[in-house]
Structure formats: C-alpha cells, structure tokens
Amino acid sequence: MQPSRSALVQMYKQMLTIRRFEEKVAEFLVKGIIYGTGHLYIGEEAVAVGACRAIKPDDYITSTHRGHGHCIAKGADLNRMMSELLGKATGYCKGKGGSMHIADVEAGNLGANGVVGGGIPIACGAGITIKMKGLKRVVLCFFGDGAVNQGVFHESLNLASVWNLPVIFICENNQYAMSTATRIAFNIEDLSLRAASYGMPGVKVDGNDVLRVYEEISKAVAHARDGKGPSFVVCQTYRWKGHSRSDAEKYRTRQEVAKWKKNCPLKRFGGYLLDKGILSEEEMGQIEGEVISSIKQAVDFAQDSPFPSLETLEEDVYAS
C-alpha cells in the first residue's frame, strides 16, 4: 500500500506547502494584514496530507476552524485561499467567509467550520447522498479532540453506523481544545475507544507519521467503499502555535512544546525520503524553492486583488 515515488514526493511538497503557507499566515496575523482570526495547522500537516492522499478527487471532506491544511491537501488553489484570508473578492468565498469558512464544494471540500463539531453531521449527510445516488465515493470528516465532546459527535457516529454510511471520522488529537487538555476533558486516554460504542472500527495512530496516517485512512476508505460503513481514526498530533491570534499559552509548558517540535512530521518524512533515496538534498531544495514561489505568487495575487464591492453585500443570502 506504499504510495508511488511521485506520490511520496507530492506528499512531501504538500506538507511543506502547508507549513510555509501557515508561516506566512502567522506573519500576516501579527502584522494585521489578515484582519480576522486564524488557526494554524503547523505541526499537524501529516494528518491532512496522509488522509487526503488516500482518497480520490471526487471524494468529499469536511473541515474545521483549523482548516488551511485540509484545504491544501484537498488540492485547493493557494491564490484563492490567500485572497479569502485577506478578505478579497477573488477568494474562495468572495471575501465573505474568511479563514474559518473556506469551502470549495465542487471540488469536494464541503467547508471549514466556525462551530466546533459543526462539520460532523454534514459529513453524514454527504454519506447519505453518496449512498442514495449510488456513487462510489467516501467522506473524510476532520475534527479536533474538542469536538469529540459535542453531543453531535455521538449522534453522528451512531447514525453513520446504523445507516452504514461511507464516512471516515478523523479526530486530530492535538492534545488541546484551546486551553483544555484532553486529560481534563476526557476520562479515557485513547479516544478511539469510543468507536466501540457505536459498533464501528476505531484505531489510534501516530498522526505525525504521514505514512501511518495514509495507511490507516486507506484501510478505512477501502472498508467504506466496500459498503462496510464508517470508521473512526484518531491521529495523535500537536498544535505548535497558540490556539488562535492571541493565546498566552499558560496551559502548557515550553518543554512540552519543544518535545513535540522534535517530533516534527515534516522533518520525519523528509528524513525518511532522504534515507530511502527517494529524494536528494538537492531535490528537496528545489521543492522548497517551488513552494516558496507558489506562496509568494499567492500573496501577490491576493494583495493585487480588489476588496469586494459594497454592491455584493446583500448578494447570495438566498439562492435564486
């Protein structure tokens, strides 16, 4: 089940793109170039990239407030993403959504979500469509550990199970929901145990190992495509940056952050590719250059784009 060489290189490039994109977003948040809030995916890149590599372009994903990584892994256009973050008319949502609402429904990205847990039942709904229309698709439903304590999580996993929906529920357990450590919010250490109570397969994986994520999600996808229903996959990872724009991070220690930074998903995968001779240092440098230039291009595009005109203010409230 190992991806091809070119797929591995693509995965590396995507992870790096997410990292560099988010670094740019962090800079823009500090400088006030991005007006609203933003939740950075740095440190969690292996989850989105490993999972999205396991699906096809016409499969669906639902995403979260921390959604830039999912978006990029699903193949989004960086120009339109950056424009949305800058509130520009050329953005994915014409500047009306911002970071927490980037969506590209035609491309199978059913949207980021400002409401924690908000995407989980939506994934079930997409699963219903797939079944009723006889499509051979699946849904990857991303959410954080915080969402696992929302009532709608339970309702959704149960529904998906009893209706045998082709949904893969992916918990990105980055150890915290804002300041709330999982040890405070849960009395179980392994969140995947919850799957048993809905009668679906549940597994916990190292979410900083992109190939492990790919492997587990691939199994769950095959299971769903075979008509065997949903799975719950918990990816253990870590949020490197503060929760959002302002966060004093009093709830965790520097040592803890440093420990997780040593377990960098990007470095780990890069090291693996070098070891196996799949990429050379030189090729990596070249990829880095391509990534930086694609982000620069996105920034230029966004900065050159106009803000939405006031005439658009009342457009799109209802579909006509």
Partner 1 sequence: MPVNIVKLTYREALRRALREEMQRDENVYMMGEDIGVYGGAFGVSLGLMEEFGKEKIKDTPLSESVIVGAALGSALTGMRPVAEIMFMDFITIGMDQLINQAAKIHYMYGGKARVPMVLRTAGGSGTGAAAQHSQSLEALLCHIPGLKVVMPSTPYDALGLLKSSIRDDNPVVFIEHKLLYSQKGEMPQSEYLVSLGEAKVKRQGTDATIVAFSIMVPKALAAADKLSKEGISIEVIDPRTLVPLDSQRIVNSVKKTHRLLIVHEACGRGGFGAEILAQVEESEAFDYLDAPIRRLTGRNIPIPYSPGLERRTVPQEDDIIQAVSKLVVSE
Complete DSSP assignment for 126-172: HHHHHHHTT----EEEEEETGGGGSHHHHHHHHHHHHTT--EEEEEE
Among 22, 145, 209, 216, the residue binding ligand TPP under the rule CB under 6 A is 145
Q: Which is nearer to partner 1, 152 or 278 (CB)?
A: 152
Q: Considering only the stretches 45-53, 123-131, 176-184, 311-319, report the one whose residues sit in contact with ligand TPP under the rule CB under 6 A.
A: 176-184
Name the β-bridge partners of 62: 141
Give the neighbor-by-neighbor strand order of the sheet with 139-144.
Answer: 60-62, 139-144, 167-173, 231-236, 202-206
Q: How many residues bind partner 1 (CB under 8 A)?
A: 42
Q: How far apart are CA 213 and CA 297, in angstroms?
A: 30
Binding mask 198-237 for ligand TPP (x = CB under 6 A): ----------------------------------------
Residue 146 makes contact with partner 1 by CB under 8 A: yes
The residues in 114-133 that bind ligand TPP, with binding defined as CB under 6 A, are 114-116
Q: Which is nearer to ligand TPP, 13 or 66 (CB)?
A: 66
Among 10, 37, 158, 164, the residue binding partner 1 under the rule CB under 8 A is 37
Q: Which is nearer to partner 1, 45 or 145 (CB)?
A: 145
Q: Which is nearer to partner 1, 24 or 88 (CB)?
A: 88
For residue 151, the minimal CB distance to ligand TPP (Å) is 10
Any idea which residue has 């959704």 for tokens? 156
Phi-psi region of 237 (alpha: psi -120 to 50; beta: other; left: phi over 0): beta
3-state SS, residue 261: helix
For residue 163, the minimal CB distance to partner 1 (Å) is 23
The residues in 276-315 that bind ligand TPP, with binding defined as CB under 6 A, are none
Answer with the entry of partner 1, ligand TPP, none that 174 interacts with (C-beta below 5 to 8 A by kind). ligand TPP
Among 7, 162, 185, 196, the residue binding partner 1 under the rule CB under 8 A is 185
Identity of the amino acid at 7: A
Q: Which is nearer to partner 1, 133 or 254 (CB)?
A: 254
Name the β-bridge partners of 169: 141, 232
Residue 51 makes contact with ligand TPP by CB under 6 A: no
CB 231 within 8 A of CB 220: yes
Q: How far apart are CA 50 and CA 73, in angstroms?
A: 9
Any idea which residue has 């991070």 for tokens? 249
Which secondary structure element, helix H or strand E, spans residue 48, and what is its range? Answer: helix 45-52
Strands 202-206 and 231-236 turn out to be parallel
Provide the H-helix boundaries in 186-263.
194-198, 210-225, 254-262
For residue 18, the minimal CB distance to ligand TPP (Å) is 14
CB 48 within 8 A of CB 72: yes
Q: Considering only the stretches 13-21, 73-81, 83-91, 283-291, report the one whose residues sit in contact with partner 1 under the rule CB under 8 A.
A: 83-91
Among 19, 65, 101, 241, the residue binding ligand TPP under the rule CB under 6 A is 65
**Residues in touch with ligand TPP (CB under 6 A):** 39, 65-66, 114-116, 144-147, 174, 176-178, 239
| Contact footprint for partner 1 (CB under 8 A) | 35-37, 84, 87-88, 93, 95-98, 100-101, 113-118, 146-147, 149-152, 177-180, 184-186, 248, 250-251, 307-308, 310, 312-314, 317
